[in-house]
């Protein structure tokens, strides 16, 4: 993955703010336990729900049942936003990743992702690879990859807003 261009927006920060390095953002995305995914229903209404995600190979990955609202939304509009951070006003960093959710079906990639899920979240999140998705005992879960097209880091000590622009392609 090519490193993004980081742009500090001084309108939304303190005078001593600096851009948050992309390496710190990547580390935070990898360590975050909970994300919120925003999708759009076919009728244009927004839908937001919490989920678990894994950062691997330059992208966030999430899974969902084929009949769940977020899977149906992605089928009609694959543009999504994933957010994570701290639920505090002071300290920490909030992160926003915009991108296109693309289904992962390659069995080798799915096996690596299943291992990453279990490494990150423990044995309760063990998945077997089946029929181009994950099987965790509750039916088939579709797996999606979201490579960032744009991302934002909101620092809260000092306050800052960094925008990350990714090269096309």
Question: What residue spans define the domains of the chain?
Answer: 5-165
SS3 156: strand
pLDDT, tens only, 2-19 = 789 999 999 999 999 999
Average pLDDT over residues 114-126: 96
Q: What is the pLDDT of residue 1?
A: 60
Measured from the Cβ of residue 63, the count of other Cβ atoms closer than 10 Å reads 26
pLDDT at 111 > cutoff 90 = yes
In angstroms, the CA 118 to CA 65 distance is 18
Q: How many helices (H) and strands (E) does the chain have?
A: 3, 11
Token code pair at residue 13? 């920060």
pLDDT at residue 169, as a whole number: 56
CATH number for the domain whose boundaries are 5-165: 2.30.110.10
Structure letter (DSSP) for residue 139? S
Is residue 26 over pLDDT 60? yes
Residue 163 near residue 6, CB atoms below 8 Å: yes
Mean pLDDT calculated for residue range 105-109: 97
């Amino acid at each position: 993955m090519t490193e993004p261009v980081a742009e500090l927006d001084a309108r939304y920060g303190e005078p001593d703010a600096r851009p948050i390095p992309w390496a710190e953002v990547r580390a935070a995305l990898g360590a975050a336990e909970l994300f919120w995914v925003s999708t759009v229903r076919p009728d244009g209404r927004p839908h937001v729900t919490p989920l678990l995600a894994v950062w691997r190979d330059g992208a966030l990955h999430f899974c969902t049942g084929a009949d769940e609202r977020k899977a149906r939304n992605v089928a009609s509009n694959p543009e999504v936003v994933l957010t994570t951070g701290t639920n505090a006003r002071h300290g920490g960093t909030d992160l926003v990743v915009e991108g296109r959710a693309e289904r992962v079906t390659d069995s080798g990639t799915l096996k690596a992702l299943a291992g990453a899920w279990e490494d990150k979240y423990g044995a309760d999140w063990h998945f077997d690879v089946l029929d181009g998705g994950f099987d965790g005992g509750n039916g088939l879960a579709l797996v999606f990859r979201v490579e960032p097209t744009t991302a934002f880091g909101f620092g809260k000590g000092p306050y800052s807003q960094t925008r990350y622009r990714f090269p096309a392609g």
